[in-house]
Amino acid sequence: MPEQDQSQRERAFQARIDAEETIEPRDWMPERYRATLIRQIAQHAHSEIIGMQPEGNWITRAPSLRRKAILLAKVQDEAGHGLYLYSAAETLGVDRGELVQQLQEGRQKYSSIFNYPTLTWADVGTIGWLVDGAAITNQLALTHTSYGPYARAMVRICREESFHQRQGFELLMHLSQGTEQQHAMAQDSVNRWWWPSLMMFGPPDQASPNSAQSMAWRIKRVSNDELRQRFVDMTVPQAKALGLTLPDPELSWNQERGHYEFGAIDWDEFARVVGGQGPCNAERLACRRAAYEDGAWVREAAREWAAKHPAGRSEQAA
């Protein structure tokens, strides 16, 4: 394409974004916009898929049938969310198999939070309350992202996630108001998950190099630090209601700013976990690969069946 056409198209594209119009799959878009979205949506999808593991770990050990049914439904939702997101990524012209392969070979990332272990049953509650709470804060902002299929997936996911957060809160409430041991288990869990949850929003704004372009393209609508502040402001009163404390001595209300102040985040730890040195990185990927390989015979059987019955058995639509 001649250079002039290219810059004209880019101007028209940006004008459409600035007018708050969504970009749809077959619209012209700059290659970097497409690449940025593919990377972000794929990472988001991978996070949902890997995110099934920490909680899935507790399904067979849930303390009651009620809790087991809830946890099964929640983990199934995470799988669904991953699939909505892969579906959105594919509208950008990328092959889903390629994305799955990149995850399994460790060439694409997922949220670092899932590299922490779920040591006790209380962690199931804390993940729902804090981790899903942080995810919802982030995803609510993304319901207004400029790429239509991504925004629509976010709307659906947010609607479903609200049950995830509430069941976690309720679970922790029961533990917190239970025996001394149960209360201690809940507190220990919150102590371990609080700081990693704050890291979920990503590096501070001044250290987030891709943010400016993503904001200009309205892929990202709210900055990392602002989302983090929203989450803290929302969570502190919830912790009080739970009768649990947050492990930060510097946490205090700033009347002037109208926000909570909080202590410094250990960004070295974040870098280590993102870089593959977290407590469970290797385990998560090994489990994902094993699940994929163990399912190979099912995919093969389904392919063979389809090849032998080309007409299928389903009803024609009317």
Partner 1 sequence: MTPGEQSPLWEVFVRSRRGLSHNHVGSLHAPDSEMALQNARDLYTRRGEGVSIWVVRSADVHASDPDEKGPLFDPPADKVYRHPTFYTVPEDLKL
Residues that bind partner 1 (CB under 8 A): 24, 26-28, 73, 76-77, 80, 83-84, 87-88, 90-91, 95-98, 100-101, 104, 153, 160, 292, 299, 302-303, 305-306, 309, 312-314, 317
**114 Cβ partners below 8 Å, 6+ apart?**
47, 50, 51, 53, 54, 280, 284
Give dist(CA 100, CA 46) in Å, integer.
Answer: 8
For residue 306, the minimal CB distance to partner 1 (Å) is 4
DSSP 148-171: HHHHHHHHHHHHHHHHHHHHHHHH
The torsion of the CA quartet 144, 148, 149, 151, rounded to 10 degrees, works out to: 0
Side chain identity at residue 64, one-letter code: S
Nearest to 233 by CA among 160, 167, 124, 137: 137
Angle between the N-to-C axes of helices 132-142 and 224-242, in degrees from 0 to 180, rounded to the nearest 10: 140
Closer CB to partner 1, residue 78 or residue 123?
A: 78
**92 Cβ partners below 8 Å, 6+ apart?**
25, 34, 37, 38, 41
Going from the C-alpha of 203 to that of each of 125, 172, 195, 198, the distances in angstroms are 26, 29, 13, 10
Residues 122 and 174 sit within 8 Å (Cβ to Cβ): no
For residue 79, the minimal CB distance to partner 1 (Å) is 9
Closer CB to partner 1, residue 27 or residue 266?
A: 27
For residue 149, the minimal CB distance to partner 1 (Å) is 8
Residues 125 and 107 sit within 8 Å (Cβ to Cβ): no
Closer CB to partner 1, residue 240 or residue 303?
A: 303
For residue 241, the minimal CB distance to partner 1 (Å) is 27
Closer CB to partner 1, residue 146 or residue 235?
A: 146
Closer CB to partner 1, residue 83 or residue 251?
A: 83
Q: Which two tokens stand for residue 179?
A: 């025996």
Closer CB to partner 1, residue 143 or residue 191?
A: 143
For residue 191, the minimal CB distance to partner 1 (Å) is 34
Give dist(CA 28, CA 5) in Å, integer.
Answer: 12
Closer CB to partner 1, residue 254 or residue 314?
A: 314
For residue 159, the minimal CB distance to partner 1 (Å) is 9
Closer CB to partner 1, residue 259 or residue 303?
A: 303
For residue 304, the minimal CB distance to partner 1 (Å) is 9
Closer CB to partner 1, residue 161 or residue 248?
A: 161
For residue 307, the minimal CB distance to partner 1 (Å) is 8
Give dist(CA 230, CA 246) in Å, integer.
Answer: 16
For residue 26, the minimal CB distance to partner 1 (Å) is 5
Residues 48 and 139 sit within 8 Å (Cβ to Cβ): no
Residues 154 and 122 sit within 8 Å (Cβ to Cβ): no
Report residue 206 CA to chain centroid gap: 23
